[in-house]
Structure 1
Amino acid sequence: MDFIQTIVLSLVQGLSEFLPISSSAHLILVPKLTDWPDQGLAFDVVVHLGTLSAIVFYYRAIIRILIQDFFYSVVKIQTIGQSKLAWGVLLGTIPVGLAGLIFKDFIELNLRSTEIIAYSTLVFGLLLGFSSWVNAKNQQPRSEINWQDVGFIGVMQALALIPGTSRSGITITAGLLIGLSKNMSTQFAFLLSIPVITLSALLMLLELYQQPQLVDWSMLAVGFMVAAISAYLTVVFFIKLLDTIGLVPFVIYRIILGVLLLAI
């Protein structure tokens, strides 16, 4: 990859990882539509680590509390502070982890076509819009998460393995559908991304170790920084503007993108 391709693909990853528009879909589509060569596994690992560092830095204070309360709850065998949320993040990751291990090869071979991405972009975009409409009618959205919420959101997150779904999009959708507030749905969705991105990066690192590639370290460093900075700024502005702009602009974007992809 040259410098321009590195910047563009890193921005795509950073901007789309935490917005409900599917980063995997965009990283598949951009090289296809521009006829660029595949960016390679090493690049995928680096930009994922970049977005991971961004979300960890943003939630660093909450993460510190979650880790502390989690270990206290293990030692004392009872719920302490934010330990329930910490357990929720861990337990909510299990469905997507199992589904990824079981269906990885099938997804790689059968679900990465432009047509599949187009339909999943449309379907899950409309579902996001429906969940936002349902939530807007809820006079008392909840700011506390329970075990049933964790189970439902965790299972729904597994659908994000389908390119075009959007991991953040489907988890926010699930939270809104079951009555969580937009802020709580978004926070839990973003916290869930930490173990998911970590596991994904570890699997890619293992694959990269088994199939070593020649890499341009300077381009990887650029990719990491661009992905990290753009992802952090995206999270900051998305959370600040969520109550103002809502989710409708992302629904409209997904519908337009899905229709264009089907036309192409």
Structure 2
Amino acid sequence: MSLLYLLALAALQGVTEFLPISSSGHLILLPALTGHADQGQIIDVAVHIGTLMAVLLYFRADVAMALRGVPRMLSGRIDTPGARLAFLLGVATVPVVIAGLVLKLTGLDEALRSIAVIGWTMLLFGLFLYWTDQKGATERRTGDWSLRHAIIMGLWQAVALIPGTSRSGITISGARALGYARTDAARLSMLMSIPTIIASGTLLGIEVAATANAAAARDGAVAAVFAFVSALLALTLMMRLLRSVSFTPYVIYRVILGLVLLYIAYS
């Protein structure tokens, strides 16, 4: 794999991981449209690590609060903001873990990696994001997150295992439908990504641990660094823009790309 293509993969993962435009869909599309071989699981693990570091750094105050609350949560006391946040993040992660294992064991995860599937999900869930963003109320804040809302958003997150859906896009849509303000919907979505990325990265890491070599480790390190930088820049930009701009620009991008992909798939 050339250095230029490796950097393109890492930057693509970093930029699209937290924007509501589907990182998995773009990572599947890039080799499919360029004729390159699939990047492989080692690179997948590396870029996941890079994006994880970016979200941990950006939301370090929330992460520290949740970590401080873990001991109380494990002792059955959910009586502090940190313990409550840690508990709700755990609850919201359960559906995607279960759904991911089912897809992996049945082989459906590979069956869904097609341009047609990505085209439809890019289009339909892009329109869903527009509808929830325009119709959703804005009275709820991050502190209003409840057990019921964590379960609902967790179920939406599981749907994102279908390539092209966008994990951030569907969870933001779910939060907007529940009445959360744009910045708070994005904040909850990003915090939900942390245990999800850890879970998926751990699973992939176990699978590739025995096949790693020096060259693969070097490529992975480069990919992780560039994914971290691009993810941090994209996350910072989006969170700032959401103070004055809706999700409509992302919707327009998704609709155009979805229509193009459907044309390619069915022509």
Query: Where does residue 103 of structure 1 map in the other structure?
Result: 103
Partner of 2:117: 116
Separation in 2, partners of 1:237, 1:83: 29
Report the number of matched residues: 262
Structure 2 CA distance for partners of 1:214 and 1:35, relative to 1, 3 Å: farther
CA distance in 1, matches of 2:80, 2:70: 8
Deviation per residue, 1:193-232 (Å, 9 max, x gap): 0111111111111111355567343332221111001001
1:29-68 Cα deviation digits (max 9, x unpaired): 0111111121111111111111011111111122111111
What does 1:50-65 correspond to in 2, within 5 Å?
50-65=50-65
Q: 1:107, CA displacement in angstroms?
A: 2.8
Q: 1:131 aligned to 2:132?
A: yes
| Partner amino acid, structure 2, of 1:112 | R
**1:189 and 2:189 correspond:** yes
Indicate conservation of the 8 Å contact 2:73/2:86, yes or no.
no
C-alpha separation in 1, matches of 2:49 and 2:146: 30
Q: Is the 8 A contact 1:107 1:161 kept in 2?
A: no
TM normalised by structure 1 equals 0.94
Summarize the Cα distance change of 1:78–1:111 in structure 2 as closer, same or farther, 3 Å threshold: closer
Percentage identity across paired residues of the two chains: 37
Q: 1:62 to 1:140 in 2, by over 3 A?
A: closer
List alignment gaps of at least 5 residues for structure 1.
Answer: none
1:159 counterpart residue number:
159
Deviates more, 1:67-76 or 1:106-115: 67-76
- 1:141 offset after TM fit, Å? 3.6
The 2-side partners of 1:74 and 1:10 are apart by: 36
Letter in 2 for 1:128: L
The amino acid of 1:20's aligned partner reads P
User: CA offset at residue 9 of structure 1?
Assistant: 0.6
Alpha-carbon distance in structure 2 between the residues aligned to 1:82 and 1:215: 41
- For residues 184 and 139 of structure 1, do their structure 2 counterparts lie closer, same or farther at Cα, with a shift above 3 Å needed? closer
Q: For the Cα contact (< 8 Å) 2:10–2:223, is it kept in 1?
A: yes
The Cα of 1:109 is off from its aligned counterpart by 3.0
User: Is 2:127–2:255's contact at 8 Å kept on the other side of the alignment?
Assistant: yes
User: Is the contact between residue 107 and residue 162 of structure 1 (CA under 8 Å) also seen in structure 2?
Assistant: no
Query: Mind listing any 5+ residue stretches in structure 2 that lack a counterpart?
Result: none
Distance 1:19 1:78 in 2: 31
Judge which range, 166-175 or 180-189, deviates more. 180-189
Per the alignment, residue 90 of structure 2 pairs with 90
